[in-house]
Chain A
Amino acid sequence: MTDEHWPVACRSLVAKMLAELSFEQALRPEPLGGSRYGIRLGATSYAFTARQSTMDSWIVAPGTVTRDGEPADDPFRLLLDLHGAWGLDPQTTALTVTELTATLAADAHLLRTGLGVAELADLPHAELEGHQTGHPWIFANKGRVGFSAADRRAYAPEARRLHRLPWIAVHPDLAEFHGDPALVDRELDPRTRAEFAAHDPGGYVWLPVHPWQWDEVVEPLYAAELAAGRIVPLGEAPDRYRAQQSIRTFVNVDRPDRFDVKLPLSILNTMVYRGIPTELAEAAPPSTRWLHAIRDADPFLRDTCRVILPGEVAAVAVRHPVLARIDGVPYRYTQLLGALWREPLAPQLEPGERARTLAALLHVDPAGGSLAAELVRRSGLAADAWLRRLLAAFLPPILHYLYRYGLAFNPHGENTVVIFDERDVPVRVAVKDFVDDMKLLTSDLPGYAGLPDAARSVLIRVSADEMCASLVKSIFVCVFRYLAPLFADKLGVPETDFWAMVRAEILAYHRRFPALADRFALFDLLAPTFERVCLNRERLLPGGYHDRAERDAPFHLDAEPLPNPLLEP
């Protein structure tokens, strides 16, 4: 009657909480001798076995944690101790309890149903997504506030279910289609189009809706538009889709040549509600055209890196006629309904190529097997050689867009897809999620000239330092901080070698493009330190971060700068 996987998930989560809060310097572990470390929370003492790794990171061994000398494998107990010691806001802590519970349930499910790495390595990209364990850094990483138990069984990526999407038609006063209007004709068969057209009053804008969003948000909040016939249900399209790690991006299983669909989902997950803002829908197609134009005109990106940029070629945003007019409304109410179509990856691969997200390389199966190690084994290469190939595939296009064009993607583990050849050697990458996450400099560079106004006014603008810090966060903190110790533990590549290879790849780029020297100084990836971002601490702070009008309003936390792992010792 008990679930054997639950305590395992609890032990891992406790270890992750301690490790990440130590990285964020909310906890300051004191050495207790050997590999034991201790912290105090009020009158309570925790001790654990851990090691420090690069970037002030901590690796805490699950199952080694004690609380006042007794085994402590309860993440709720730890949270309550943090709550008491730090005087947290009870409402925020209560919400964190719900998110931790949901995360544990998902983790236990993943343990129960997890495949071994040998099987995982054979899975297609879209299916592998259903086995991944979520954001590596945020400990409440599968909170999905808004999903019931049945919703999780249906719609969580690890549920691995296939879904048909309902389509609706929206009066053109409320909705605009941006991008190639012929897209809908390609996405729906003639027969489905004819069936749907019978419901369209004429000239309406068509889009798919996530079934959860339809029931929980669209019907309740757009009831007046439904009553007035300004939103009309068309029916369910026959193609089946699979949810990706982001939960709201779907890949077409029946027709891999058809587009991925990103849909708003008003659930709170890893700190934000997952909607599609109106202005981003408008900016997506022109942003894509601009990025593609840059790539197609640049021999390094086009021929050397052969980078794939899955285009966000079309989008629809549907305004809420009342909520959109309310100043100061929480942002989640301004991104309730819409759709974004992204070019699928599969048709862009060459014969023999396979795709897996960068995040997948961090995956460790329930038996402790590493997917990266399995791929290294299959490649026949030495681990350091394989790693060099990975870095050579990943970093140059990112660096080139940064230095040459003053543009930063958010190439974290989920947005970066590594393309492997038939031997599972990394050969190139695809980078996705442009319009939502791409950053430009505050001051216009000459290279921005080709950027259409619709995109220019919408994309995030930051300083060069902020742009650099953003890339460091996405790549170093979010991915390499975990990949380096994993290569050390599972493949015997010392962490110092890992970071030396990263440094070598960056310096190789510098040597190849000496004309960009002033940009290397402007975007100083070799600076001694970077800003330390503290996502989990922000999460625990009071102030209803998710009820704010601005999703990305800044937080200010005191933390020491993060040492740059690229600096030679």
Chain B
Amino acid sequence: MRFRHEELSGPHWSAAGRALLARTLAELAYEELVTPVADRDGYRLDLPGGVGYRFRARRGAFAAWRIDETSIRRNGQPAADPLRFVLDARDVLGLDGQAMADLVRDLTATHVADARLRARALPAEELADLSFEDLESHQTGHPCMFLNKGRLGFSAADAARYAPEAAGSFRLVWVAVAPALGEFGAVPELSADRLLREELGSEVCDAFAARAPEGYVWLPVHPFQWDEVVLPLFAPQLADGSLVVLGESPDRYRPLQSIRTLTNLDSPHRRNVKVPLMIRNTLVWRGLSSMQTTCAPHMTTWLRELCAADPFLARECRIVMLPEVASVTVPHPAFAELPDAPYRYHELLGAIWREPVHGFLEPGERARTMAALLLEGADGRAFVAELVERSGIGAVEWLRAFLRALLPPLLHYLHRYGASFTPHGENVVLITDEREVPVRVALKDFGADVELLPFDLPEYAGIPPHVRGMLHRWSATELAHSILSAICAGHFRFFSDIVQRHLGVGEDEFWALVREPITAYRRRFPELAERFAWFDLLAPTFGRVALNREQLLGGGFHDRSERDAEFDVMYGTLTNPLARHDG
């Protein structure tokens, strides 16, 4: 037994608590779960039992709350305890005992992770020098969800080993499954044998081959999943030999922010591997469904073919679609016969291999996830301020370059091909040139997360019919959320605050900058005018995605059989900051 709470003591715990309390208040108020009222020079939130919170805040686009965390008072006393707050607010939130227990657990886990991040915090200048992988271990998690590092299922030791901010490393267990149990899929040019030789090297491959029956399908397993899920739940298959242990592969891996996507530390040119983890984090259990694994190589092929044939994407945007080149799908034989069982039971074992971004970079280019733009260093300086300074081009021009790199390819996939992604901060990789000026982006995670319109566009013809049948089909208004919610409300709502505080560019000016590439795109492709109207990114209002509301009040969301059963995370409407100067 180890006692691992050193980093929790001292100032990190209370500083993390103060920030988490501010984030909790801000996000609950944004989603209208609590309603602070203006009071003197700030705001007041009265709760049952004679409890009152006061704080100072600035309001931003989307009526966002920028709360000064040092200003929060509970009944006049400085407040830094988010658990105290949720107890105070329980009746207002309307949570039952089970939901409160989950909330307390997730909030505590998030607090621990935030304290650990603070204990390792670096100044902005040093953050800017970190490699892609090392920077990932400093990211602060989903900005919209205050319970963003709950990771239900991880023990303290698991979190210390497997959480991204632990910046650790571990090896993967490889198994082989009988062909009746698992299926390999890949882009056309890649065979299983070549993939395994490239990923494992010949020596390891040969050693494993001595243990694997002929024709078995090989895949890596996360050590947590191995111990918690595969050994326990695939015990019948281990007993009858349809699942065979090959051994541990020598390369060390580290999780990216999504926790279940792992990057190879020893051989960075080898592929990232996305593996299921039976933990619940930010709303969902992080398994890997058959749909995701089956779709991945096919969607990669389709999106890359579109890109290759489209000079705008290929030569102007030079977008990188990080290919998910291969996958293995392994349904669990007993749970497969319980299709209505909670979805986590259907996502136990499988793998997706994704090309890392490094191989796509030109000399001098650097890559970081877009989430990094929300980081502030231990010195209180924003990470983006350091990049802007290094670029020497001034904040406004840097932002223009960033938005020009980010938006046109997404707009084009949406309007021209009727396809949307989930381009939140972790799925977009920002590529800068040697001066740290943004030049283009790479996109990832589009296996089964590509969404299409409910009716078939001619552009969908390149998707194999069985894959097309599995993909989510949403209305045009809902697809528009890939820009409006994932980027504008989900990322820029926070980035615009950083931009104002650290780059001296006001929020209104920032939103005007965001409109520029959108209007430019419309001028450039007038033949798509009908589709501009479908998706209507400049509409006066759009629906508010309320993830915290869903997490707290979703009522067994995570026990449903369909993870994405309904598009039911919307609550109320937001004023669209892009709408004013419709051009």
Contact = CB atoms under 8 A, between A and B. Distances in A.
A94 interface: yes
A250 to B, nearest CB: 15
Interface string B78-112: 00010100010010000011101100110011011
Contacts of B232: 98, 101-102, 105, 147-149, 152
B566 interface: no
Interface in B124-163: 154-157, 159
Interface in A1-21: 1-3, 6-7
B362 interface: no
A299 interface: no
B244 A94 contact: no
B4 interface: yes
B105 A101 contact: no
A547 B104 CA distance: 16
A6 B234 CA distance: 13
B338 A94 contact: yes
Contacts of B104: 221, 322-323, 326
B4 A90 contact: no
A325 interface: yes
Contact of A325 (B87, B109, B239, B341): B87
A148 B228 contact: yes
Given A2-B240, A104-B235, A325-B87, A97 B334 contact: yes
Contacts of A174: none
Interface string B154-175: 1111010000000000000000
A94 B13 contact: no
Contacts of B115: 227
A166 B231 CA distance: 27
A101 B83 CA distance: 37
A80 B338 contact: yes
Interface in A216-235: 216, 219-221, 223-224, 226-229, 233
A215 interface: yes
A327 B95 CA distance: 10
A101 B235 contact: yes
Interface string A142-159: 000001111010000000
Contacts of A98: 232-233
Nearest to B112: A223
A333 interface: yes
Contacts of B5: 219, 223, 226-227, 233
Interface in A182-233: 211, 214-216, 219-221, 223-224, 226-229, 233
B9 A215 contact: no
Given A215-B155, A322-B83, A322-B104, A94 B335 contact: yes
Contacts of B236: 6, 76, 101, 104
A236 interface: yes
Contact of B334 (A80, A236, A326, A330): A80
Interface in B10-41: 13
Contacts of B155: 215-216, 219-220
Contacts of A333: 101
A91 interface: yes
B345 interface: yes
Given A80-B334, A220-B155, A148 B231 contact: yes
A236 B3 CA distance: 11
Interface string A7-37: 1000000000000000000000000000000
A101 B156 contact: no
B461 interface: no
B164 to A, nearest CB: 17
B244 A211 contact: no
A173 to B, nearest CB: 15
Contacts of A79: 334
Q: Is the interface of A mostly helix, strand, loop or mixed?
A: helix
Contacts of A327: 97
Contacts of B335: 94, 97
A81 to B, nearest CB: 10
Given A220-B112, A224-B111, A94 B345 contact: yes
Identify which of B226, B236, B337, B342 gathers the most chain A CB atoms within 10 Å of its CB.
B236
Contact of B559 (A1, A6, A91, A330): A91
Given A80-B334, A80-B338, A549 B228 contact: no
Interface residues of B, number: 54
B238 interface: yes
A91 B156 contact: no
B101 A323 contact: yes
Contact of B8 (A1, A147, A223, A328): A223
B329 to A, nearest CB: 19
A330 B96 CA distance: 10
B96 A328 contact: yes
Contacts of B210: none
Nearest to B81: A224
Contact of B9 (A83, A108, A227, A233): A227
Nearest to B111: A223
B241 interface: yes
A102 B232 CA distance: 6
A54 interface: no
B398 to A, nearest CB: 39
B180 interface: no
B417 to A, nearest CB: 37
A514 B96 CA distance: 54
A314 B524 CA distance: 80
Contacts of B337: 80
Contact of A1 (B13, B226, B241, B561): B241
Interface in A48-97: 76, 79-80, 83, 90-91, 93-94, 97
A76 B334 contact: yes
B87 A322 contact: yes
A43 B101 CA distance: 43
Contacts of A97: 233, 334-335, 338, 345
Nearest to B109: A220
Contacts of B238: 3
A559 interface: no
A221 B103 CA distance: 11
Interface in A312-338: 322-323, 325-330, 333
Contacts of A211: 1
Contacts of B105: 220-221
B108 A220 contact: yes
Contacts of A1: 213, 241, 244
A207 to B, nearest CB: 14
B227 interface: yes
Nearest to A3: B239
B266 interface: no
B553 to A, nearest CB: 15
A236 B342 contact: no
Interface in B203-241: 213, 226-228, 231-233, 235-236, 238-241
B239 A83 contact: no
A80 B159 CA distance: 35
Identify which of B81, B104, B154 gathers the most chain A CB atoms within 10 Å of its CB.
B104
B508 interface: no
Contacts of A83: 338
A13 to B, nearest CB: 11
B358 to A, nearest CB: 34
Interface string B322-347: 00000000000111011111100100
Given A227-B9, A227-B13, A90 B342 contact: yes
Given A83-B338, A236-B1, A326-B100, 12 more contacts: A1-B244, A6-B235, A76-B236, A149-B228, A219-B156, A220-B109, A220-B155, A220-B159, A221-B108, A227-B8, A227-B115, A328-B96
5 closest cross-chain pairs (CB), A and B: A328-B97, A219-B156, A149-B231, A6-B239, A94-B341
16 contacts: A1-B213, A76-B334, A105-B235, A148-B227, A149-B227, A166-B1, A216-B155, A219-B5, A219-B155, A223-B8, A223-B111, A224-B111, A227-B13, A323-B101, A333-B101, A549-B97
